[in-house]
Every structure is written in structure tokens, then in C-alpha cells.
Amino acid sequence: MSEITLSELEKQYGDTTAVEDVSVDIRDGELLCLLGPSGSGKSTTLRMIAGLEEPTSGEITINGEDVTDQSAYERNTSTVFQDWALFPHKSVLENVAFGLKMRDVPKEQRRERAEAMLERVQMGGYGDEDPTNLSGGQKQRVALARSLAVNPDVLLLDEPLSNLDKRLREDMQIELREIHEDVEETFVHVTHDQDEAFTLADRIGIMNEGELIQVGEPTEVYENPANRFIEGFLGDTNFVESEAVRVTDDAVHVETELGYELVLPSDGDPDVTEGAELTLSLRPEVLSIEQDAAADSMEGHEQPVLADGSTLNAVVGTVENVLYRGSTVRYSVSVNGTSMFAERTGANTDALTAGEEVRIEWEGDDVLAFRPDGSQVTL
């Protein structure tokens, strides 16, 4: 149980900056996921917490104690590595007991503790095995037991699930979540997989190009991303380029590359000037796609449909191709020459086919807008 503070953490390798100005308070007992594409500095950040990398500048404290200058073996942190890094010449039990041996725990005690940990990760009875003979999932469990055995202040997980196949990975995510609840310790988990972060995390920290862009609960970062990068990274979306043509107190009217003028409702006094370039994000889950019964009556450049004062937006296009993905079906639609996509659940048997005219609709409230510098516009 412990709190970790990173303040203005920075890591440079020669001229390249791997981690830049990362500051975050990791709460006691939470599971924080550092999420980002490869090369975003998330692993380096984790390794600095472990003491395996020395920060170029900045400070790390654990429970208020400055550990920045302590080496890895002096810190009571424990890492589960991506390739698990089990000791190949030691038995499974010796692996799990290793940290206790380094802490001079008497032999009988560490044996008991190691066996209990193996039991905890459902690897009881494997103590005498040679770790090189285990499967990926089993190695993963042993590595977890080895790290938990020392009762660390914080458990650091460096993409430990990425070498497992999809099904096993999903099972392990649930199990990891349970273990976290069970042991009540602080976990920092690094991953590049959004689904994994959403499944596991109490809070998600999103990193890109060495910077920690946003830290928040999963719903918060998903529904209110700090910038366009996060919106694009956290799931599929349609980015539509547009220009603000008319700004009123309660709405922003934009001319889009779709060839339609759309309306973005505002809570009042939108932070946009006329003529500003905006990138709109239309997530597939807010779009509904229907066979367009009224296709004949729709003209390409019509104003958005405003039914009884609400701000329903609609565009009309042609289905280009259909991608069946099991639980969902994805339709790629050409709207006045610009491609966008919408989804239906796979259960919807009323399938659309390529070449069909369709109408895509959404609530104006569900659209996010970003400035050219990536920041989100408050509407």
C-alpha cells in the first residue's frame, strides 16, 4: 500500500528525449494504466519507478520518501517483465522465493510464502518444474507470484500480457483485476492495448511522444479526451475536417468536407471564432445508419435536418464496402466523395449492401471538436 509521486520526470538518451516532464500522483492502492503507442515513453517511465533507469531530471517519491537516487535493489518495487524474465536455471519455487532470499528470509518461511503465492496464481504443485518448460500463461503467473511474494510497495507491470494470445490475455486481465482487489496494493500497468487499459484500470494515464497527456478514469478520458490524439487513440472514430461559418450563443455552424453544413449545439458562448478550422470526431457508436427511404428527396448540400428544434444531424451517402466483424458490421460510406464509416451490431439482420444509398444520423451533442493544435474545443 503506497502512494507514488512522479514530478517533472525526464529521461534523455543522447539527443532524444524518451520521457518529458511527466508528473503524476499515483494513489494508494489504485491500478493505474499507462497507455500509449510504442515509443511513447510509458515503459521508460515504469523502469524509472523501478529504478532500472536513472531519470535525467525530476523526482520520484514512494510514501513521501525520495527514492530518485536509490538503485533498483534498494527500492521495494517489483516488476513483471514483458518476457517475464524468469531465472531459467532455478525451479519455479526458487524463482518465486528469490526476492525473499535476497531479503534474508529464513529458508522454511520463504518456502511457505512462495508456495502460498503459487497457490494464489493457480500454479500450486508446479514448484519443482523447470520454468523453461512452462507455457506462456504459466510463466506469466509465476512471474506475477515472484513479484508479489516480496510484498512490494508497488507492483509494476511492463506489458506482461502482450505475449499471450487474445483469449488467454482476456482471461488474465480479469484475473489480474481480481488479484489487484485481493492484495490491495498499488499497481502500475503499462500497455499499448486500449481494451486492456479499459478492462484493468482505475485510472488511465495516456502517453504520447514522451509526454503524459491526460490522467483520468476510463470514462473520463474516453468521453472527454484532452486532445485529438487521445480521441484517435482510444478507439476508432471518423475525423471530419471543417470550418466554422457561423457562431451563435447556442450553436456553431460548420461547413464540412462531407459537403454538408452541420450544427454543433453549445451550452453557451462557444470558444470558437468564425473562420476557425475544426476537426470533428464522429464515433461509430453515436452514428446510426439506415437505408435511406427518402434518398431521392435529399440533396447533396442541404442544411442539416432540424426536427422539432433538436440538433439531429444527418448526411446521405453510398455504401462502399461492408466489413463483417462478428459482433459488429462496419460499413464504409462515401459521402460526396469523402469516406466515413458507421457500424451496426452483427445481430441486425437487415443487412445493407454495397452500392446502397444510406442516411447516417447522430445527435449534435455527441460530436467533439478539436483545434488544429489538437486541443479540444469547449462547446
Partner 1 sequence: MTETPTRVPTSIAAVRERIAGQSSSNRALLLMAPLLAFELLVFVIPFFILLRISFAESSANFVYAEGTVSLEAYASVLTNELLWSIVGYSFLIGVVVTVLSVLIGLFYAYAIWRSTGLVKSLLLFSVVLPLLTTLVIRTYAFRPLLSPTGTLNEILLSLGLLSEPISFYPGTIAVVIGQLYIVLPYAVLAIYSVLATMDWHVVEAARDLGASRPRSILEVVVPQVMPGIIVATVISFAWSVGAYAAPGVLSSSLTFAIQVEDMMYGMRYPEAGAFSVLMLLLMLASIAIIFTVLNRFGGEFDLA
Kindly list the residues in this chain that would bind partner 1 in the complex (CB under 8 A).
50-52, 71-73, 77-79, 81, 83, 85-89, 98-99, 102-103, 146-147, 150
The distance of closest approach from Cβ of residue 134 to partner 1 in the complex, given in angstroms and rounded to an integer, is 15
Question: Distance between CA 261 and CA 284 in Å, rounded?
Answer: 20
Closest to partner 1 by CB, 81 vs 222, is 81
Question: Distance between CA 36 and CA 34 in Å, rounded?
Answer: 7
Closest to partner 1 by CB, 147 vs 279, is 147
Half-sphere exposure in the Cβ direction for 277 (13 Å, CA): 7
The distance of closest approach from Cβ of residue 88 to partner 1 in the complex, given in angstroms and rounded to an integer, is 7
Cα-trace Rg, the chain: 26
The distance of closest approach from Cβ of residue 74 to partner 1 in the complex, given in angstroms and rounded to an integer, is 8
The distance of closest approach from Cβ of residue 51 to partner 1 in the complex, given in angstroms and rounded to an integer, is 8
Closest to partner 1 by CB, 149 vs 240, is 149
The distance of closest approach from Cβ of residue 204 to partner 1 in the complex, given in angstroms and rounded to an integer, is 24
Question: Distance between CA 51 and CA 171 in Å, rounded?
Answer: 30
Residue 375's H or E segment, with its range, is: none
What DSSP character marks residue 377? P
Closest to partner 1 by CB, 114 vs 254, is 114
Q: Which residues does residue 48 pair with via DSSP β-bridges, in sequence order?
A: none
Handedness of CA 111, 114, 119, 123 (dihedral sign): negative
Closest to partner 1 by CB, 79 vs 191, is 79
Residue 136's H or E segment, with its range, is: helix 136-149
Closest to partner 1 by CB, 150 vs 280, is 150
Question: Distance between CA 314 and CA 262 in Å, rounded?
Answer: 8
The distance of closest approach from Cβ of residue 85 to partner 1 in the complex, given in angstroms and rounded to an integer, is 4
Closest to partner 1 by CB, 83 vs 171, is 83
The distance of closest approach from Cβ of residue 116 to partner 1 in the complex, given in angstroms and rounded to an integer, is 17
Closest to partner 1 by CB, 116 vs 174, is 116
Say if CB 227 and CB 375 are below 8 A apart: yes
Distances (CA, A) of 318 to 248, 277, 359: 32, 27, 9
Burial (CB < 10 A; 0-12, 13-18, 19+), residue 120, is middle
The distance of closest approach from Cβ of residue 196 to partner 1 in the complex, given in angstroms and rounded to an integer, is 21
Apex CA 56: angle with CA 52 and CA 61, to 5°? 65
Residue 39: Cβ within 10 Å count: 15
